A and B are shown apart, each in its own frame.
Chain A
Amino acid sequence: MFDKIGLVPNIEQLVERIQNQNNFFVSTEMNYSGSLSSANELQIYRIIQESLSNIIKYANAYAAKITLVEQPGNMLVEIKDNGKGFSIKETLNSGKAFGLHNIIERSRVIGGEAHINSSADGTVITINIPVKI
């Protein structure tokens, strides 16, 4: 039913659920009018889902923010938190970071690239997806 509902309402529902179930605050800034196929939208939804679940499990953050911005020729997806951060290299090579690899792989599948930045102030995952105009 995902495609019937659309990306933004699905994310809103996910955020609402996470807030209520985990007592964890997530703010959103979403400016998206549907430039991606619904298969790609689903990938983005899964990436966001995975990221939020990582944040809740490991980051010990006060909050997270989801940003979706459509720019000419490009779509930007960003998930950031103000948690304790982690060593990206170590985690990726630990053989256990399925979720993280998943995020990278899903980004690639939709023709984009995931960048992960992490420090003691938090983690930012940025994904840029080229969009045909």
Chain B
Amino acid sequence: MRILIADDHPLTLMGTKVFVESLGYKIEDVCSNGITAFNLILARQPKIAILDINMPGMDGLEVLEKVHRQKLPTKVILLTMHKEMTIFKKANQWGVSGYILKENAYDELQKCLETVKKGEQYISKNLENDLVIDNHSAGQNYAIDKLTFTEKKILELIAQQKTSKQIADMLFISEKTVEGHRTNIIQKLELPKEKNILLIWATKHFK
């Protein structure tokens, strides 16, 4: 299996190369900027490209984007110090195969390479932790954890005896939106269809 590695810091590049070789892989090419990396991907179609994000010329994300747009067979692993979800989301849009942080690379690169080799996606555990918190607000045991930030905010105001109209004005959203949230909250909490059920629930849980 042919692998390409690109990183603009010579020592990191060498370190990654030696480490990946020690895992029993053969490194076909190494380079220190994105443009060369992309040209090598075009010319030699390695199975996997391990790319840094911050590189002169063309950064790792741009290389990924081009590989994605041109439907090249090379699988891209981004090895980066960027933990920001926005950057990961962008990379994910462009079909990134692996996303790991440099700080955890020593523990994760092997697993990542094995996963990507099988044609699956590997996302750093450390990034996924944030993702879980972002999207599912960890642990679904408590009913309240199923609610989004906005829904909780609305419940808080319902508990303060505010009407939908008042809540809408206070939060700069439309009354319709508030009503929509109320319906969703009742569904998520699986509350029975009774009059004022949300107010009763809210006063009990937000005090």
- Chain A positions within 8 Å of B, measured between CB atoms, are 1, 4-5, 9-10, 13, 16, 19-20, 25, 27, 62-65, 80, 82
Contact = CB atoms under 8 A, between A and B. Distances in A.
Given A25-B171, A27-B172, A62-B171, A5 B87 contact: yes
B171 A5 contact: no
A4 B171 contact: no
B172 A80 contact: yes
Given A4-B59, A4-B87, A25-B150, 14 more contacts: A1-B53, A4-B61, A5-B86, A5-B87, A10-B86, A13-B84, A13-B85, A16-B134, A25-B171, A62-B171, A63-B170, A63-B171, A64-B172, A65-B172
Contacts of B53: 1
A20 B133 CA distance: 11
A128 B85 CA distance: 31
Interface in B105-153: 134, 149-150, 153
B186 interface: no
Interface in B74-107: 82, 84-87, 89-90
Interface of B: 53, 59, 61, 82, 84-87, 89-90, 134, 149-150, 153, 169-173
Contacts, number: 39
A19 B150 CA distance: 9
Nearest to B170: A62
Contacts of B173: 27
B87 A19 contact: no
Contacts of A16: 134
B46 to A, nearest CB: 24
Nearest to A4: B61
Nearest to B171: A63
Nearest to B61: A4
A10 B148 CA distance: 20
Given A63-B170, A63-B171, A1 B87 contact: yes
Nearest to A81: B172
29 contacts: A1-B82, A1-B84, A4-B59, A4-B61, A4-B87, A4-B90, A5-B86, A5-B87, A5-B90, A9-B86, A9-B89, A10-B86, A13-B85, A13-B86, A16-B134, A19-B149, A20-B149, A25-B149, A25-B150, A25-B153, A25-B171, A27-B171, A27-B172, A27-B173, A62-B170, A63-B171, A63-B172, A82-B169, A82-B172
Nearest to A82: B170
A110 to B, nearest CB: 22
Contacts of A13: 84-86
Contacts of A80: 172
Contacts of A27: 171-173
> Which of A10, A13, A62, A82 has the largest number of chain B CB atoms within 10 A?
A62
